[in-house]
């Protein structure tokens, strides 16, 4: 919602679906200064929520331009989020969180199928979600610098759902098997030195950098605002971190792009319990 507010939208949170039609008519009334609006609807609306499909059909029949953004996450992530916020799920009967999440999925499935844009937020921080929403939903009236995020991850923790490009660097020797390096990360000089001296690393860069030099300007020409590049290794703590930091230093140093690095799994233990 903050993303839309910052873009100048008139925003309404937790609006009963039946009121969307009235709100759109009000905004189209002569004298209204609202040009764009964003409305959040979810199962907090209770019985009123089930009417949202009919409301969308009425908007289409009236020719009211609109887009539907659908946000979702894995059940594991949703459970963790509810535990952290200590909020009750609106459909949790008798406090059964898993049952509430399943009931919500069933209720929302028709909307998910008709959504113009669907985003899985399971692996997204709030800051990265804002970037993804802006890229997919907001008008690009003026093309600025392409925001490039190098996202590192461990395959044993699952591949990211939102990567536009993804590269597997598990062909390089793994520092995990060196006892003196196992507890360190790709931000530590000994691990950096180990990876940068690996057989095949220079050949990898010799092929990868020309590919980026071709792709990034092409994405800019197409008006893309944000690009997520996944770099994966086994645990997401050593090889992928070194390579992502190296790429970020190169493309961030050129000044053509807004570059940041996200190390998703760097703080996870090097061994499974």
3-state SS assignment for residue 20: helix
pLDDT of amino acid 82: 80
Q: Is the dihedral of CA 194, 195, 198, 202 positive or negative?
A: negative
Tokens 């899985």 belong to which residue?
A: 120
Nearest to 137 by CA among 243, 14, 52, 11: 11
pLDDT of amino acid 143: 47
Q: What angle do CA 129, 132, 138 make, to 5 degrees?
A: 115
- Round to whole Å and give the CA distance between 161 and 58: 33
pLDDT of amino acid 192: 97
Nearest to 97 by CA among 108, 107, 87, 106: 87
- Kindly report the number of other CB atoms within 10 A of residue 120's CB atom: 16
**Quick one: tokens of 104?**
């919500």
Print pLDDT tens along the chain (273 aa).
888 887 888 899 888 887 888 888 888 777 778 888 999 887 776 655 667 888 888 888 888 889 999 999 888 888 888 878 777 777 776 667 788 888 888 888 888 888 999 999 888 888 788 888 888 888 765 446 788 999 999 999 999 888 999 999 999 999 999 999 999 999 999 999 999 999 999 999 999 999 999 999 999 888 787 899 999 999 999 999 999 999 999 999 988 898 999 999 999 887 644
- CATH numbers and ranges of domains, the chain: 2-137 (3.40.50), 146-263 (no CATH)
Q: What angle do CA 47, 51, 54 make, to 5 degrees?
A: 175
pLDDT of amino acid 142: 47
- Round to whole Å and give the CA distance between 81 and 99: 15
- Round to whole Å and give the CA distance between 119 and 126: 13
**Quick one: tokens of 161?**
């759902």
pLDDT of amino acid 173: 96
* Alpha helices per DSSP H over 86-199: 97-114, 126-137, 189-196
pLDDT of amino acid 47: 58
């Amino acid at each position: 919602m903050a993303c839309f507010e910052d873009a100048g939208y008139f925003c309404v949170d937790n609006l009963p679906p039946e009121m969307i039609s009235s709100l759109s008519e009000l905004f189209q009334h002569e004298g209204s200064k609202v040009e764009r609006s964003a409305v959040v609807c979810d199962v907090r609306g209770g019985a009123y929520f089930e009417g949202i499909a009919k409301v969308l059909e009425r908007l289409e029949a009236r020719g009211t331009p609109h887009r539907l953004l659908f946000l979702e996450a894995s059940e594991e992530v949703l459970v963790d989020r509810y535990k952290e916020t200590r909020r009750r799920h609106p459909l949790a009967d008798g406090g059964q969180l898993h049952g509430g999440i399943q009931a919500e999925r069933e209720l929302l499935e028709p909307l998910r199928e008709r959504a113009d844009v669907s985003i899985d937020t399971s692996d997204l921080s709030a800051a990265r979600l804002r970037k993804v929403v802006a890229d997919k939903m907001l008008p690009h009236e003026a093309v600025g610098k392409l925001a490039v995020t190098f996202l590192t991850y461990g395959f044993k923790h699952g591949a990211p759902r939102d990567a536009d490009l993804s590269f597997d660097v598990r062909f390089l020797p793994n520092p995990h098997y060196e006892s003196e390096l196992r507890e360190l990360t790709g931000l530590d000089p000994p691990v950096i030195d180990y990876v940068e001296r690996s057989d095949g690393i220079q050949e990898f860069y010799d092929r990868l950098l020309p590919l980026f030099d071709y792709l990034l300007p092409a994405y800019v020409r197409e008006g893309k605002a944000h690009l997520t590049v996944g770099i994966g290794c086994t645990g997401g703590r050593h090889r992928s971190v070194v390579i992502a930091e190296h790429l970020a230093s190169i493309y961030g140093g050129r000044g053509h792009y807004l570059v940041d690095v996200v190390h998703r799994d760097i703080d996870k233990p090097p061994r499974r319990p």
